[in-house]
Amino acid sequence: MGFPAREALKFFPDLREPFPMKNPELERNEVLFGADPMEGILAVEPAGKNAVKLFLREEGGNIAIREEPFTPFVLLEEERFLDGFKENFRLEALSPGNPLRLLALFEDWPACVKAKDHLRKVTGESSSSLQAPYLFLSDPVHQYLLLTGRTLFKGVSFGDLRRLALDIETACAPGFEFSNPEREEDRIISIALMDNRGYEEVLFGAEMDEKRMIETLGERICSLDPDVLEGHNLFNFDLEYIVARAKLHGVKLSWGRDGSTPRIRRSRFTVAERVLDYTRVDLFGRHVVDTLFLLQYYDVTARELESYGLKAAAKHFGLAEEDRTYIDRGRIQWAFEHDPESLMRYNLDDVRETLALSELLGYPFFLQARMFPFSYQNIFIRGNATKINALFLREYLRRRASVPQPPVRSTFEGGYTDVFVEGVVKNVVHCDVASLYPSIMAIGDLKPRGDTLGVFLPLLKDLRSFRLEAKKLAREMTLSRHEHDYWEAMQQTFKTLINSFYGYLGTDLHHFADPDVAAEVTRRGRETIRSMIDWLRREGALPIEIDTDGIYFVPPDGVKTESEAVQLVRRLSESLPQGLEVEMDAVYPAMFSYKRKNYALLDQGGNVVIKGSGLRSRGMEKYLRDFLSEMLRLLLEGRGDEIPDLYRETLGKLDRHELDVASLAKTETLTESLDSYSQKVKAKKRNRAATYELALASGRNYRAGDQVSYYVTGTDRKVRVFENCRFASAFDPGHPDENVAYYKAKLQDLYKKFGEYLPRRVQ
């Protein structure tokens, strides 16, 4: 069923390239963007044994397909390692200085794979071993882009990408918590599609059977011909579900640009400390992007999202429309049967928000695809250190220079963090050193010893300039909310990338790492921050907290206005060596300093900003987060005597069952498979946990990375949670069975925890 077409991306309606960053000098940087200037490449795919297919956007928007030769390679230390290898190859000597000094080039990909197997036998080291005296890269597209110096999307604007968002709704058999594609009755009941060119449609289960819905979906993908297929939790739900149901009906999913079916395999990727398992789906000539991954990356540095759900993210970024339709998960089947119009609007709103979220957070990765020798889809799952390593490898291959081996593991001291004052402090200034570690590396000429070509520092300086430009634009007072969020997402992404240059140095996984240089960088960083603290104290300021590259402090008595604070920070900056620049971030009427990297700020607009897991933990139930947030606001606003009333009011709501289950439930992510959990519990290597026990009892195929929401039942404040829990979706408001005593005890503990910071008259 088609709805009247609305602009899919109302926030950036007239921009071919939203808020483009004009920096032609930067884009001519061959180290950063690759030496080959070929424009219009949308995708690269293997074609036979020794060729690739390039999908190119031509003027007018048509797709051209060009086949080009591909010569795979292996880097190795000694020629003798290939003695006795029977396939044809040729060797090129690389300029000396590093161990990987030979480039072996092969006639085709199968020969290269055979060479890898031969090298494993000869050297006794697999290709994944850090001690292997050779380097084999398992992705032929990555190899092709490395050797040619080509990248995707040169000359292509983000608006030129044809992006199609997909979202499905599913039935769930009575008596079950979740839909299961293996149950015949749990069919797909609605499929919403929307692209960034004005098309939108709902394929609805009341108008066609499931088999026809899936067939029609394939027809739409082929006719719309998107470059990118997008969705939220697309890999681990929508696509996996569609594949399973297509198999049930015998439908061939010919979604590739060559008519091929999806390539599917289990995979995983890491975002900061989180490791996510997912079902990877590859479509020939297209890219698949999951906006759930975008949220995870954004929050690595922002640390401000309470949930990675689509609706919560859309609200957080102001992307949700005022008339947005919401339907509880447990009411999807009812809506399908009794209010189909609402279900279709709900489904369409999901894809609308997916496109808007991808527009907001995906652009930095689009720019990265212009730089790094990876497919767009792989840009999202490759770590920053891996991307940096690829830039080095590409340049060293271009200049036929030898490559170092990864260094021996070593440990060293990190950055300087400290807290000098706890509790509520008034009139607080925050300043930080712009890109502290990158700046230290630049002015100190600190680079890895294996970088014989001198690539590291120039590359770092260019990326730093890119990030600072985006950061400056994010602070423009004339920006709309959406423009600000866009530039903030941009600068956060590149901040993470730039800071990864320092992290890259400290690893033992990558070829140009150098832990000794990393240790020297942190030493100079600690020295710089200590010198800033000493300077501020001499001026009569009161330091409150230090976080690696920034300082919160109360200015001297003579500094009364914001302009005077700016002058103070400018003088502080002038006290540092040339090349280190201190920026004033903001002035805050009040700050609650709790412990290292944990604090709350009251900004000039009356907003409360909370930082740190001790004050903003996702592991804390929502009613506790809400209580803590309001308590902090009262403290910061000088209304601490109202906190006991807030406390008693919250206790009363618990007693009267006035808090909904969403406020009481915990949502936790499974970090390992159910089999692994069961084996560890049986071997007494870990304790039982509510999330895993519920997942096991549900009969659903849960995996690492999946989330489970549950609440605690019973009557005793001290219960074994894994024995007294239920899925949040099973909660019945008409017969509430939450453990009031348990939840009251948690509130009491939280209240006592912060008792020392309350005004004495209310403690």
Give pLDDT tens digits for 563-606. Answer: 999 999 999 999 999 999 999 989 999 999 998 889 999 999 99
pLDDT at 437 over 50: yes
Largest CA distance in the chain: 86
The structural domains of the chain, with segments of one domain joined by +, span: 72-153+379-398, 417-447+514-616, 640-762
What's the rounded Cα separation, in Å, for the pair 553 and 533? 9
Asked if 102 and 75 count as a contact pair (C-beta separation under 8 A), the reply is yes
Q: Any idea which fold 640-762 has?
A: Topoisomerase I; Chain A, domain 4 (1.10.132)
CA atoms 266, 269, 274, 279: torsion sign = negative
Token pair of 219 as six digits:
């027809």
Confidence grade of residue 760 (pLDDT, cut at 50, 70, 90): low
Q: What is the DSSP string of 520-557?
A: HHHHHHHHHHHHHHHHHHHTT-EEEEEETTEEEEEPPT
What's the rounded Cα separation, in Å, for the pair 497 and 367? 12
Stretch among 170-184, 215-229, 278-292 having the lowest mean pLDDT:
170-184
Token pair of 173 as six digits:
């058999």
Say whether 423 sits in a helix, a strand or coil. strand
pLDDT at 10 over 60: no
Asked if 231 and 290 count as a contact pair (C-beta separation under 8 A), the reply is yes
Q: Could you tell me which of 96, 88, 103 has the C-alpha nearest to residue 135?
A: 103
Per-residue pLDDT at 761? 53
219 C-beta neighbours (distance < 10 Å), count? 11
Mean pLDDT of 365-384: 91
| Amino acid occupying residue 569 | V
pLDDT at 87 over 50: yes
What's the rounded Cα separation, in Å, for the pair 607 and 351? 31
Per-residue pLDDT at 302? 62
- Going along 272-312, which residue ranges are E strands? 274-282, 287-290
Q: 193 or 707, which is more confident?
A: 193
Token pair of 367 as six digits:
């720019």
Mean pLDDT of 87-116: 97
Q: Is 384 left (phi over 0), alpha (psi -120 to 50) or beta?
A: alpha
What's the rounded Cα separation, in Å, for the pair 308 and 300? 12
Say whether 273 sits in a helix, a strand or coil. coil
Asked if 340 and 253 count as a contact pair (C-beta separation under 8 A), the reply is no
Q: 47 or 479, which is more confident?
A: 47
Mean pLDDT of 343-369: 93
- What is the radius of gyration, based on Cα positions, of the chain? 28
| Amino acid occupying residue 154 | K
Cβ neighbours of residue 223 closer than 8 Å, sequence gap 6 or more? none
pLDDT at 169 over 60: yes
What's the rounded Cα separation, in Å, for the pair 575 and 581? 10
Say whether 655 sits in a helix, a strand or coil. helix
Mean pLDDT of 188-192: 98
Q: Quickly tell me which residue has 């024995």 as its tokens.
A: 723
Q: For residue 302, what are the CA distances in angstroms to 262, 276, 496, 605, 696?
A: 34, 19, 10, 20, 34
Say whether 168 sits in a helix, a strand or coil. strand
Asked if 54 and 44 count as a contact pair (C-beta separation under 8 A), the reply is yes
Asked if 291 and 354 count as a contact pair (C-beta separation under 8 A), the reply is yes
Per-residue pLDDT at 710? 94
Asked if 587 and 573 count as a contact pair (C-beta separation under 8 A), the reply is no
Per-residue pLDDT at 5? 32
For β-strands 163-170 and 228-231, DSSP reports them as parallel
For β-strands 63-69 and 102-106, DSSP reports them as unpaired
Q: What is the mean pLDDT of the chain?
A: 90
Asked if 519 and 412 count as a contact pair (C-beta separation under 8 A), the reply is yes
Per-residue pLDDT at 482? 66
What's the rounded Cα separation, in Å, for the pair 46 and 258? 12
Q: Could you tell me which of 108, 114, 110, 112 has the C-alpha nearest to residue 74?
A: 112
Burial of 351 (0-12, 13-18, 19+ CB in 10 A): buried
What's the rounded Cα separation, in Å, for the pair 182 and 403? 50
Per-residue pLDDT at 260? 97
Q: Quickly tell me which residue has 């339907």 as its tokens.
A: 327
pLDDT at 399 over 90: yes
pLDDT at 11 over 60: no
What's the rounded Cα separation, in Å, for the pair 356 and 196? 9
Per-residue pLDDT at 468? 75
Between 3.90.1600.10, 3.30.310.50, 1.10.3720.10, 3.40.1210.10, what CATH number should domain 417-447+514-616 receive? 3.90.1600.10
pLDDT at 158 over 90: no
Token pair of 402 as six digits:
């030898």
Per-residue pLDDT at 303? 63
Asked if 272 and 280 count as a contact pair (C-beta separation under 8 A), the reply is no
What's the rounded Cα separation, in Å, for the pair 307 and 667? 9
Kind and range of the H or E run holding 57: strand 51-57
Asked if 605 and 619 count as a contact pair (C-beta separation under 8 A), the reply is no
Mean pLDDT of 609-631: 87
pLDDT at 28 over 80: no
Asked if 202 and 192 count as a contact pair (C-beta separation under 8 A), the reply is yes
- Using one digit for the tens of pLDDT, what is the confidence trace for 678-732? 999 999 999 999 999 999 998 777 777 677 889 999 999 999 999 999 998 889 9
- Using one digit for the tens of pLDDT, what is the confidence trace for 638-657? 999 999 999 999 999 999 99
pTM (2 d.p.) = 0.82
Q: Could you tell me which of 448, 434, 577 has the C-alpha nearest to residue 521?
A: 448
Mean pLDDT of 462-478: 77
Residues in the chain: 763
Kind and range of the H or E run holding 44: strand 41-46
Sheet of strand 73-76, all strands in order from the earlier edge strand to the far edge: 89-93, 102-106, 73-76, 134-135
Say whether 519 sits in a helix, a strand or coil. helix
Q: Quickly tell me which residue has 């009364």 as its tokens.
A: 560
Say whether 723 sits in a helix, a strand or coil. helix
Q: For residue 598, what are the CA distances in angstroms to 240, 421, 543, 603, 624?
A: 39, 12, 15, 16, 17
Stretch among 133-147, 294-308, 351-365, 606-620 having the lowest mean pLDDT:
294-308
What's the rounded Cα separation, in Å, for the pair 325 and 311? 10
